[in-house]
Structure 1
Amino acid sequence: MAARMFSRGVTSLIILSALASPSFAGGLERGGYNIDQLFDTSPFSFQSGILYVSPQRKLKDARDTQPSASTGGGNLNNRSSTADETTNYTIPYFGFKAGFADAVDCLVDYSEPFGGHSNPGLNWAGANNNIETEIKTRNYGGTCSYRFDVGPGQLRFIGGAFYQEVEGFKERLVSTAPIAFGTGNGIGRLDLEDNSWGWRAGLAYEIPEYAMRASLVYNSRVKYDNLTGTVDLTQVTGPGAPLNAAPYGRVTPVFGSAEAPDSLELKLQSGIAPDWLAFGSVKWTNWSVLQSVPFCPTSTKGVIACTSGGDTELTSLDLLYRDGWTITGGVGHKFNDQWAGAVSLTWDRGTSQGYGAQTDSWTLGVGAAFTPTEHIEWRVAGAVGVLTSGSSGVVTQNGVTFGDDVSYSFGNDLVAALSTSLKVKF
């Protein structure tokens, strides 16, 4: 009897743990991959949600370290040494889950797992490195599982595939000479896009009587082998060399290649007392696959390899990430038949290695679930965290120097988030 009462008391907490703390992982993490809806116990469910994030990363002590470069923006040390790097953003999610024959569950969903947006602007000393950069992804997934009895619980095999689209741009100040000659604003822009496929596989073991579940899920890399776009330097032109010759003053089609990272995540949860649930997770993300992404003129494709620092490289998207680790732990409690809550603490290891501002973060999250009827569940969660301090400067990798155009530092900055979702079960 106690076991059955315990099972009823924690049913609504099984999925809530995923909403207790929105992630602020390093790299280009946004919504990440989340298939928790696959474990919903109802035969059918539709879920829609949105996450709003407000990071407050502020750059300071910025210094132009290439003040004499004719195509490096010129001397920008008379501009502001501070800048607000980050912008607020939202992430939507939609998912539909269906169960068949008490053994098969399938989930189709839309998410935006990766992305990033920095916008320090034109009027800071590092405009020769970055004015604005934005990367967006759209992910359309299908995942199924098959479960069967093993011992006191059920073993579940998980598999699926997803189609992913990426697009983005970067703007930076290439030269101040056009401004002086009245022939342009000196800003260069890179636009890029591609699409590709990925897959996932995993295992889970569940003992519903104790609200116990352990899952291990691997998400593959997504290989963007056909990144295409343009480098627009129509605003960078002038009467003297080198601004009066290609590629300046024109739009150049370019190509490149990159990979969205693979990841492996272990999630654990278990009832610890009637109406109480403990949960945790450990996730590794292979952000080190994203180093410097070179872009070369399409006219050189198939003739000369497009490599970082190579002779045909026209521009690059420099990230220089290391692998990310995310560790979360928390506890949930059901207060009554309608209300449940959870609290969690998350640590994300920063992915920057002396270049960029992706440092460690610590996040405290709280979430609540309201179930007015057996068919409707509304959830809301919030989080507040600290983005730890650091600095960015010169880094040499494989004989290529990065970060020699600007240096800056940053302190401990705040980040906050709110998320909400509505689930209909039938």
Structure 2
Amino acid sequence: MKTKRISKGLMVLAAGCAFHAPAMAGGLERGGYNIDLLFDQGRFAAESAVTYVNPQRKLKNVRDVDATDGLGANGIGGGDDSADDSESYWVPRVGVKAGIGDSVDCMFDYSEPWGAHTKPGADWLGANENIETKVESENYAATCSYRFDAGPGQLRLIGGVFYQEVYGFKERLVVPDAATPFGNGVGRLDLEGDGWGWRAGVAYEIPEYAFRASLVYNSEVNLNDITGTLDLSQVNGTSPDVYGSQKMPDVVELKVQSGIAPGWLAFGSVKWTDWSQLEKVRFYCDDPSVTAACLRPGGVTTLDLGYRDGWTISGGVGHKFNEQWSGAVSVTWDRGTSQGFGTQTDTWTFGAGASYTPNQNVEVRLAGAIGILTGGSSSTVTLDGETYGQRVNYEFDDDLVAAISTSVKVRF
């Protein structure tokens, strides 16, 4: 009887506490991929979650290092040598899960896996590099699993597909004010693309010990047909259509959780993301009669990222206080994806969360996190034969990032 009582407590804890506080990962990651709802114990379950993240990245000692594209914020030397680079953002997620028979579970969800928003503005010395950049995404996924007895537990085979849309814009100073009669020389690049991906994985569960280990691969998404416009109306009166292609990264994630004592659960994860695919993304235009820049062999413009692969390692412990309340704490390390250009340095995040279950059908979670964005610098570098950071150099200290996340789950 004692063993059954301990097992039941651990199963409730596994359902209520084995979650990570919101983490701030590198590259263009926002919500990432999450299929935890697929493992919910209920026959039917629906979950809605939202996370608010507030990074505080500040740039200092900014130096405009390229006089050929206009010095300073106005093209003739003006501007501040510091800037607030980051913008806060929201990350929603909605999903439903249904059990089909005794062995099959399927989940349908909406998420926003990728994104970025930097807005140092037009008054800093790096306006020729960036005034505002914003990337957003939408992901629609269907994931199913089949489970069967294997040894003391159950083996689960996982597979699914997802459709993804990625879109955004970038604004920067293109030429000095004094060189153009059309205005302040701000150019804007608007883009959108979409594609399909798939996932496959395996999980092993021993409910008696609240043990679960899962390994899931999410494929790259090939955005073969990115289209948009390059608005140079303030520069030379043109606005050519542009096109390009890019692959969004594939992701491999290993998650493990296990009961370690009555009412206690330990959990951890390791994730690899192929951000090195996003280096210098080139865009082209077909009609040189619109602008002579269409003749450039390297493209009319580029998005310079220069990323390396990302690694994220997280671990924590959860505790069930009573039948209604449980809590968890975690620590996460994310390896920065920048390589001497950009602000994507290592991040350390410390999170805590609570789960309230007033009855067996409803669960409410609240989690928060505070993190350290480690300091560094961005300079002119050459990576794989390509030059990055040739317009502006700057430095940045350790900065803080904070986040809060809430979710509501209903099962029946």
5 Å-filtered alignment, 1:393-412, equals 393-412=379-398
Is 1:314 matched up with 2:300?
A: yes
Give the secondary structure class of the aligned counterpart of 2:345.
Answer: coil
5 Å-filtered alignment, 1:174-185, equals 174-177=174-177, 183-185=182-184
RMSD of aligned residue pairs (Cα, Å): 1.8
| Aligned counterparts of 1:53 and 1:413: Cα–Cα separation in 2 | 14
Cα deviation for residue 46 of structure 1 reads: 0.6
Q: Does the CA contact (< 8 Å) of 1:19 and 1:381 recur in 2? A: no
Aligned equivalent of 1:167: 167
Give the secondary structure class of the aligned counterpart of 1:266.
Answer: strand
Aligned equivalent of 2:94: 94
Is 1:149 matched up with 2:137?
A: no
Q: Does the CA contact (< 8 Å) of 2:72 and 2:124 recur in 1? A: no
TM-score by length of 1: 0.92
| Aligned counterparts of 2:69 and 2:90: Cα–Cα separation in 1 | 38
Q: Does the CA contact (< 8 Å) of 2:75 and 2:177 recur in 1? A: no
Is 1:253 matched up with 2:241?
A: yes
CA pair 15-408 structure 1, distance change in 2 beyond 3 A: farther
Comparing 13-22 with 284-293, which one deviates more in the overlay?
13-22
5 Å-filtered alignment, 1:210-249, equals 210-236=209-235, 248-249=236-237
Comparing 113-122 with 8-17, which one deviates more in the overlay?
8-17
| Aligned counterparts of 2:49 and 2:354: Cα–Cα separation in 1 | 14
Instruction: Summarize deviations over 1:91-141 as a string: whole Å, max 9, x none.
Output: 111000000111000000000001100000000000000000000010000
Is 1:347 matched up with 2:333?
A: yes
CA pair 181-28 structure 1, distance change in 2 beyond 3 A: closer
CA pair 69-135 structure 1, distance change in 2 beyond 3 A: closer
Give the secondary structure class of the aligned counterpart of 2:69.
Answer: coil
Comparing 12-21 with 339-348, which one deviates more in the overlay?
12-21
Instruction: Summarize deviations over 1:17-68 as a string: whole Å, max 9, x none.
Output: 5643212110001000000000001000010010000000001110100134
Give the secondary structure class of the aligned counterpart of 1:122.
Answer: coil
Cα deviation for residue 325 of structure 1 reads: 0.3
Instruction: Summarize deviations over 1:294-337 as a string: whole Å, max 9, x none.
Output: 0110448xxxxx9xx96251111110100000000100000000
Cα deviation for residue 216 of structure 1 reads: 0.2
CA pair 228-24 structure 1, distance change in 2 beyond 3 A: same
Aligned equivalent of 1:268: 256
In the alignment, residue 242 of structure 2 is paired with which amino acid?
V
Aligned equivalent of 1:417: 403
Contiguous gaps of at least 5 residues in structure 2? 289-293
Aligned equivalent of 1:245: none
| Aligned counterparts of 2:49 and 2:70: Cα–Cα separation in 1 | 49
Aligned residue-pair number: 407
Give the secondary structure class of the aligned counterpart of 1:341.
Answer: strand
Q: Does the CA contact (< 8 Å) of 1:76 and 1:124 recur in 2? A: no
CA pair 201-280 structure 1, distance change in 2 beyond 3 A: same
Comparing 76-85 with 116-125, which one deviates more in the overlay?
76-85
In the alignment, residue 133 of structure 1 is paired with which amino acid?
T
Aligned equivalent of 1:107: 107
Comparing 77-86 with 12-21, which one deviates more in the overlay?
12-21
Instruction: Summarize deviations over 1:383-415 as a string: whole Å, max 9, x none.
Output: 001000010010113433221110001000000
Cα deviation for residue 217 of structure 1 reads: 0.2
Contiguous gaps of at least 5 residues in structure 1? 237-247, 301-305
Give the secondary structure class of the aligned counterpart of 2:338.
Answer: coil
Q: Does the CA contact (< 8 Å) of 2:182 and 2:237 recur in 1? A: no
Is 1:9 matched up with 2:12?
A: no
Q: Does the CA contact (< 8 Å) of 1:168 and 1:191 recur in 2? A: yes
| Aligned counterparts of 2:91 and 2:62: Cα–Cα separation in 1 | 31
